């Protein structure tokens, strides 16, 4: 890293500047990690030349290399382009005409994988404990995987049977339902979680990450029960930004592995993931006759056309057309 960051006298710590700008604009830690990785790879690909010395040709050569040699998906290629655009526009302050002319990879239009109600039942029957509770929450609420993993105590309202999803995709909040069949199991889990929290408090390690510098605005909030993650990690870890050792939320990979294991045990021949629960949630609501605008709001889609991809299931077969073989 040191060779790259000191590759030019004008910017001795280029990647640190990238990190600082990303944090100033409140980008997530995941986006920060990915952007820094792509910028580093771009510089290494061009023999550690400084980005100021390069232009559209070098950017396109790097993206072509990713597509042809790396055979990355269109979304991955576009993420790399977004990182480079951020570097030139936000960090280096270079507004060049070629930035707007670099063509993004075309995203393939694919139908989502959806499980039937019977398949959902078969899958959930093979999941128990913490992962079973989280999987049922994903299907019962339509939340994304990370939205579920990042849930905090204050975001669940048992009396109103609703969950407030904070800082979802596009930095938007929304409200979704809390399935009544999960109220009691979730309350039982929170009783255990409270004991875990009190043990952390006694050790002086009950602080959690707070977004948007809320820890400075409310100095005691980071150790409050209301801000604790509902699904905590098994142990402590070092916060990469603050350097503080504390308990973070559960690693989402654990739930992904649990779903994969249950899928194999159930014998379902579909490539399902935790995100499949969200697709199935939307599809089954539409099949039950709920308005597409309501489903759009529950999913947090900015445009109803995104939600309309689930309407394909309402017409069995091909657009409801009867096959001539059946006739």
Of 169, 248, 260, 312, which residue is the catalytic one? 169
Tracing tokens 């993993």 back to the chain, one arrives at: 149
Q: Which of 193, 249, 278, 279 is catalytic?
A: 278
Helices (H), the chain: 2-5, 14-24, 29-45, 56-68, 74-86, 117-124, 129-141, 145-149, 183-203, 214-217, 252-266, 274-287, 292-299, 304-307
Candidates 19, 246, 284, 301; catalytic one: 301
- Other C-beta atoms within 10 Å of 315: how many? 10
246 labelled catalytic: no
Spatial separation of the C-alpha atoms in residues 19 and 35, rounded to whole Å = 9
Q: Is 278 a catalytic residue?
A: yes
Does residue 310 have an active-site annotation?
yes
40 is catalytic: no
Which is the catalytic residue, given 13, 21, 275, 312? Answer: 275
Is residue 246 within 8 A of residue 239, CB to CB? The reply is: yes
Q: Give residue 300's region: left, alpha or beta (phi > 0; psi -120 to 50).
A: left
Given 88, 209, 229, 310, the catalytic residue? 310
CA distances from 136 to 120, 131, 141, 148, 230 (A): 9, 9, 8, 11, 15
Asked about 189 being catalytic, the answer comes back as: no
Q: Quick one: DSSP state of residue 229?
A: B
One of 131, 144, 193, 249 is an active-site residue; which one? 144
User: Could you tell me which of 105, 78, 100, 75 has the C-alpha nearest to residue 88?
Assistant: 100
Whether 249 is a known active-site residue: answer no
List, as one string, the DSSP characters of 164-218.
EE-S-TTS--EEEE--GGGHHHHHHHHHHHHHHHHHHHHHT------STTHHHHS
**Residues taking part in catalysis:** 144, 169, 275, 278, 301, 310
């Amino acid at each position: 890293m040191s060779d790259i960051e000191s590759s030019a006298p004008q910017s001795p710590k280029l990647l640190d500047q990238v990190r600082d700008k990303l944090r100033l604009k409140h980008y997530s830690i995941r986006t920060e990690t990915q952007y820094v990785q792509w910028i580093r790879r771009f510089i290494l690909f061009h023999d550690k030349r400084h980005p100021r010395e390069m232009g559209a040709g070098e950017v396109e050569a790097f993206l072509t290399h990713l597509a042809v040699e790396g055979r990355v998906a269109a979304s991955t290629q576009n993420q790399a382009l977004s990182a480079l655009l951020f570097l030139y526009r936000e960090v280096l302050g270079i507004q060049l005409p070629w930035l707007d002319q670099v063509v993004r990879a075309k995203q393939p239009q694919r139908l989502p994988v959806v499980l039937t109600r019977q398949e959902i039942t078969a899958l959930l029957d093979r999941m128990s404990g913490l992962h079973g509770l989280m999987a049922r929450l994903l299907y019962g609420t339509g939340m994304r995987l990370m939205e579920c993993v990042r849930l905090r105590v204050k975001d669940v309202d048992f009396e109103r049977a609703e969950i407030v999803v904070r800082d979802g995709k596009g930095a938007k909040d929304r409200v979704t339902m809390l399935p009544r069949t999960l109220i009691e199991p979730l309350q039982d889990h929170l009783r255990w979680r409270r004991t875990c929290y009190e043990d952390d408090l006694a050790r002086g390690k009950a602080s959690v990450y707070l977004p948007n510098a809320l820890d400075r605005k409310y100095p005691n909030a980071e150790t409050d029960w209301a801000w604790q993650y509902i699904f905590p990690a098994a142990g402590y870890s070092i916060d990469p930004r603050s350097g503080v050792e504390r308990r973070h939320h559960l690693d989402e990979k654990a739930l992904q592995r649990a779903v994969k294991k249950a899928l194999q045990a159930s014998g379902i021949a579909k490539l399902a993931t935790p995100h499949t629960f969200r697709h199935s949630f939307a599809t089954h609501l539409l099949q039950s006759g709920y308005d597409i605008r309501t489903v759009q709001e529950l999913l947090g889609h900015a445009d109803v056309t995104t939600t309309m991809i689930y309407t394909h299931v309402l017409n069995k077969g091909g657009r409801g057309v009867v096959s001539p073989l059946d006739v």
